[in-house]
Amino acid sequence: MTSHEKNNKKHNHNIQNNFEVTDLLNSLGTTINPDLLIQALTHSSFSHENPGVQNYERLEFLGDAVLELVSTETLFAQHPEAAEGHLAHMRAKVVSEESLSTIAREKLQVGKYILLGHGESEDGGADKDSILCDIVESLIGATFVEHGIDEARKVVHHLIDDALAEVAHEGPSLDWKTSLTVKAHELGLPDPEYKMSVSGPEYALQFTAKAVIPTTGEVLGEGTGSSKRKAQLSAASQAWKTLNTRK
């Protein structure tokens, strides 16, 4: 047996001893074979410490595309009178890090299942919005790989239909960056700017964004994410809520 096979065997044995996968799969509403499920739950920090173990990044990439397709076709069908911009704003809210991390916590309770490296685990990675969001997408991707688009579509609806119903009534807050700019103008303020920073190892970068008023330097909101876009959306959400208290 090669070292790669030994690592995978040990990895699979450990995760199967750590939790009852039936609970997670029942919450997800589908079945996924154990090896694929393990990959979908493995963060890059774990695979970095365990060479030869596959992480969820490829599945997340695939799941993100499936999620966007299903949410787009659903919004298109449900809102025949909505303009393209409004549909895009609704979709952005539904597939946002904030929305998906809430699904991960409340519907899937997936944090306890995620395999993390020692440093990421000690840093609270199992409860980071960015990682929880990624896990939801990777599980969707794993469902697509095993069962195809019809089953993946069913899982996506199971996970996001509540959010799809909510965003239809949320008005301007659908696109936080646009909403923040509008709110700033209402208060006679200039367009907010985003100050970016990056931390963490190359294989698990963490982006931090601060939404600031450029003329005064006041920080209105701060957010983190696994990408620049996610971090800025999180910061814009906090900043909008800050300004909304001043009206």
Residues annotated as catalytic are 64, 137
Q: Which residue has the tokens 């994410």?
A: 225
Amino acid identity at 163: A
Kindly report the number of other CB atoms within 10 A of residue 65's CB atom: 14
Q: Where are the alpha helices (DSSP H) in the chain?
A: 3-18, 21-28, 34-40, 44-49, 57-78, 84-94, 97-103, 118-122, 129-147, 149-167, 176-186, 228-244
In angstroms, what is the C-alpha Rg of the chain?
19
CA distances in angstroms from 167 to 47, 81, 122, 152, 174, listed in the order given = 36, 15, 35, 22, 7
The closest alpha carbon to 160, from 220, 84, 168, belongs to: 168
